[in-house]
Every structure is written in structure tokens, then in C-alpha cells.
Amino acid sequence: MSDHTYLGGLELTVMLALLRLGEDAYGVPISREIERQSGREVALGSVYAALERLQEKGLVSSHQGEPTAARGGRAKRYFRATSRGLREVREMRQALMKLWRGVRKLRGEAT
Amino acid sequence: MKSSRPPILAAWLLERLTQRQNREALAGDLLEERSQGRSDMWFWRQVVAAITVNCLGELRRRWIVVVFPLVVCATVPWIQLFHNVRFLSFLMVGIQLRWPVSFLVGIAVMSAFQAAILLVALASYVLASKSFHSRSFLIAFSVALLVLVLGNAGVTISQLIPLPRLLFYYVLWRLPLFFGLVLSMWMVTRHVSPHKAIPYQVPG
């Protein structure tokens, strides 16, 4: 039986933003990175819900930071991709690339 | 300079209606963004989105809290009940009293009947889900009783509106029991995680 995990659209987007940011990313930079790269604003609540699902699947891990005054004394929650998460994204990329290559309607578009 | 204090009601809702696991981090992120000039409207949008996402997630994880009450309410034979001679005679004794006693007795009879069904359904649920705690059970049942009484009062008053009788039998009389059961089931299991809890890692 395959041990692959299905990644939804937002989950994949969040994983990619997390990987772009490197280690110890938290909600605000992840949300900003998605907005910067895709031009779409994603609610922080949706980002955290996706991160929670990714953590349940073992694709990301998290740890708590120190509380700061700018955050009303609330701690940040830092996330990082696990090795399994990295492997899943790589495999999903390969699968999507194969699918893309076979779509005639997309041929001839600007690369 | 613009105040960085968030809208009070939005902050209150955020503290109560979002996922416990991420609440502190999410609230901190919103305050951080707010301190960098985000508007009240932006803060409200984020809070509403977070609450909606949380509700949908709860519904996905605790679907039984909605499906079981639907099944219970669908199987209660309201039409047969309202055509049952004993039940009607019992109800009529109360209804024939002077107003507002008749109104109160009518609501009490309906609520008592629904409370008996709710008690059996709720007890079955907590026993099946192995989540019985006497205190939370009593609180949940008391809240459900309140929902039944208020709901039945609402339905009784709505009978003044000329609506089809079948709408009352099939929908309106079932609503107080449905909402009472949903709320009480959610209350008795709200502290029980439906999935494996993932703790924070302790920083080294």
C-alpha cells in the first residue's frame, strides 16, 4: 500500500511558501510570501488550518517561540518542513510535471 | 498615530471561537500585523475567516454531532404524537387553562416530552463515545433544556402565523430538539480531541 499523503491546493501552497522561507517561519511571513508570489491574500486562519493539517500528516513540525510586546505578549509558533514533507512535495512536483507535459492545450504558451 | 488596539468584539470572538491549538499564535500574528498599520476592517475579515475555517473544521471532525441529532429528530413520530388521544387529552388539560398558564403548560409538556428523548439520545452518545463526565453532562443537559423551552416558546408563538400544519410537524417542532441535542453533544465532547493531539516541541 502507498504511504503517500494527498496534498490539497492550499496545503501545497503553504508547504512551498514554508520551503521558500527556510527554517522557522511563522504565520505572518508565510501569508505574506503567498501573497507576494501568487498575488492573492490568504487569511491567516486558513494558513494555520492548513499548517495544522500538514502537521497531522507529519509533513511539518512546529515549536513555540518567545512572547513579544508587539504581539500583545503572545508567542509565535514556528513551523518547518520535515524530511517527509520535503519528499512529498518533490514527488508531487514530479507527478504534476508529468501531467502538465501531456496537456496539448498548454503547449505553445509562454514558458 | 493610529491606535494599534484591535476591535474589542473581534478580539473577544477570536479568543473564544478559534482553534485552541493555534489561538495564541494567530492572535499574536493579527496583533503584529495590526501594529504595522492594518485596518479594523482587515482585522474583522481575518477574525471572521478564522472562525469560519474553525467551524468547518469542527464540522468535518465532529460530523456525528450534526448527523445523530438529524437521525433522532427524523425518527420522532410527531404526527402520530399529535394524533395520540392520551397525549392530546394531557395537552388539552393544560391548554384549556387561562392564559398565560395554558401557554406555559403547553410549552412545559412539549419540552418534557422532548427532554426525555434528548436525555436518552445524549446518554447513548456519551456512553458510546466513552466521554461521560457527570458535571459536563449535567451542564450540557441544563443548557439543552433551556434551548428546548425557548425553542418551544418560539414555535408556539409562531403558530399565530398562518403556516401549513405539515411544516410544524415535519420541521418547526423538531428544531428545538435538534439544536438542543447538537449543542449538548458538542458541549459534552468539546474538550475531547477527535484526532491525535500534536503538542508543540519544547524549544531546546
Tell me, yes or no, whether B84 and B142 share the same domain. yes
User: Which of B40, B61, B82 corresponds to the end of one domain?
Assistant: B61
Tell me, yes or no, whether B169 and B125 share the same domain. yes
Residue B80 cell numbers, joined: 402520530
Per-residue CA distances from B129 to B44, B126, B197, B203 (Å): 36, 5, 17, 35
Cis omega before residue B100 (within 30°)? Answer: yes
- Continuous segment of H or E residues that includes residue B122: helix B101-128
Query: Cβ of A67 under 8 Å from any chain B Cβ?
Result: yes
Cα–Cα distance for residue pair B65/B86, rounded to 1 Å: 33
Tell me, yes or no, whether B114 and B55 share the same domain. no
Q: Which of A3-7, B68-72, B174-178 bottoms out in mean pLDDT, i.e. has the lowest?
A: A3-7
Tell me, yes or no, whether B163 and B88 share the same domain. yes
pLDDT category of residue B1 using cuts at 50, 70 and 90: very low
Answer whether CATH 1.10.3470.10 is correct for domain A9-103. Answer: no
Sort out which chain A residues have CB atoms less than 8 A from B60's CB and list them.
none
Residue A30 has phi, psi (to 5 degrees) of: -65, -45
Sort out which chain B residues have CB atoms less than 8 A from A29's CB and list them.
none
Tell me what pLDDT residue A2 has: 56
To the nearest whole Å, the CA of A81 is away from the closest chain B CA by: 14
Does residue B97 fall inside a structural domain? yes
Cα–Cα distance for residue pair A24/B59, rounded to 1 Å: 31
Query: Cβ of A108 under 8 Å from any chain B Cβ?
Result: no
**Facing residues of A78 across strands?**
A63
Tell me which residue in B26, B195, B198 faces A48 most closely, judged by beta carbons: B26
Bigger pLDDT: B63 vs A1: B63
Tell me, yes or no, whether B112 and B150 share the same domain. yes
Chain B's closest residue to A50, CA to CA, is B53
Tell me, yes or no, whether B123 and B50 share the same domain. no
Q: B137 Cβ partners below 8 Å, 6+ apart? A: B122, B126, B188
Does residue B39 fall inside a structural domain? yes
Tell me which residue in B47, B195, B203 faces A56 most closely, judged by beta carbons: B195
Tell me, yes or no, whether B93 and B117 share the same domain. yes
What pLDDT, in 10s, does the model give residues B10-35?
999 988 888 888 889 999 999 999 98
Bigger pLDDT: B185 vs B169: B185
Half-sphere exposure of A92 (CA within 13 A, CB side): 17
Tell me, yes or no, whether B92 and B168 share the same domain. yes
What pLDDT, in 10s, does the model give residues A84-102?
999 999 999 999 888 888 7
What pLDDT, in 10s, does the model give residues B98-126?
778 888 888 888 899 899 999 999 999 99
To the nearest whole Å, the CA of B35 is away from the closest chain A CA by: 7
User: Which of B38, B61, B84 corresponds to the end of one domain?
Assistant: B61
Identify the three-state secondary structure at position B114: helix
Cα–Cα distance for residue pair A21/B110, rounded to 1 Å: 60
pLDDT category of residue B191 using cuts at 50, 70 and 90: low
Residue A22 has phi, psi (to 5 degrees) of: 85, -160
Q: Given a cut of 50, is residue B62 above it in pLDDT?
A: yes
Contact call for B46 and A48, based on CB within 8 A: no
pTM: 0.69
What pLDDT, in 10s, does the model give residues B131-164?
778 888 999 999 999 999 999 999 888 888 888 8
Cα–Cα distance for residue pair A48/A2, rounded to 1 Å: 27
The residue segments making up the domain with residue B180 are 64-189
Sort out which chain A residues have CB atoms less than 8 A from B46's CB and list them.
43-45
If you average pLDDT over residues B171-189, what whole number do you get? 91
Q: Which of A50-64, B43-57, B99-113 bottoms out in mean pLDDT, i.e. has the lowest?
A: B99-113
Residue A84 has phi, psi (to 5 degrees) of: -65, -40
- At residue A62's C-alpha, the angle toward residues B193 and B23, to 5°, is 55
Which of B26, B33, B41, B196 to substitute to test the interface with A, most A CBs within 10 Å?
Answer: B26
Cα–Cα distance for residue pair B40/A19, rounded to 1 Å: 31
Tell me, yes or no, whether B55 and B78 share the same domain. no
Contact call for A74 and B196, based on CB within 8 A: no
